[in-house]
Amino acid sequence: LLPERPIRLELLFLVEVLLGLMGIIGTVNGRTAVAGFNSFDALSLLGVIAIVIVGMAIGLAIYNYQN
């Protein structure tokens, strides 16, 4: 995507800084600002994993077809 190495490193650094700031903003006095939850929806998790696996398989098939 970005051919020059210095630009890639600068972009990576800026993304890490942004994530760090979001982490600081998301916590208040050492606690997370949002209350936690105890429920776990396994079916939704399996659905997301299935979508990721199918997407990876399609991407790999397209890559192998082009090369």
Q: Return per-residue pLDDT of the chain as tens, 67 residues.
A: 667 888 888 999 999 999 998 888 777 666 766 677 777 788 998 999 999 999 999 999 999 999 8
Do 31 and 1 share a structural domain? Answer: yes
Do 42 and 31 share a structural domain? Answer: no
Do 43 and 32 share a structural domain? Answer: no
Cross-strand partners of 27: 32
Domain that holds residue 17: 1-36
Task: State how far the Cα of 21 lies from the Cα of 9, in Å rounded to an integer.
Answer: 18
pTM over 0.85, yes/no: no
Per-residue pLDDT at 1: 66
Per-residue pLDDT at 55: 96
Asked if 27 and 33 touch (Cβ cutoff 8 Å), the reply is yes
Per-residue pLDDT at 13: 93
Do 42 and 32 share a structural domain? Answer: no
Do 26 and 7 share a structural domain? Answer: yes
Q: Domain tally for the chain?
A: 2
CA atoms within 13 A on the CB side of 43: 0
Do 45 and 29 share a structural domain? Answer: no
Phi, psi dihedrals of residue 60, rounded to the nearest 5°? -65, -40
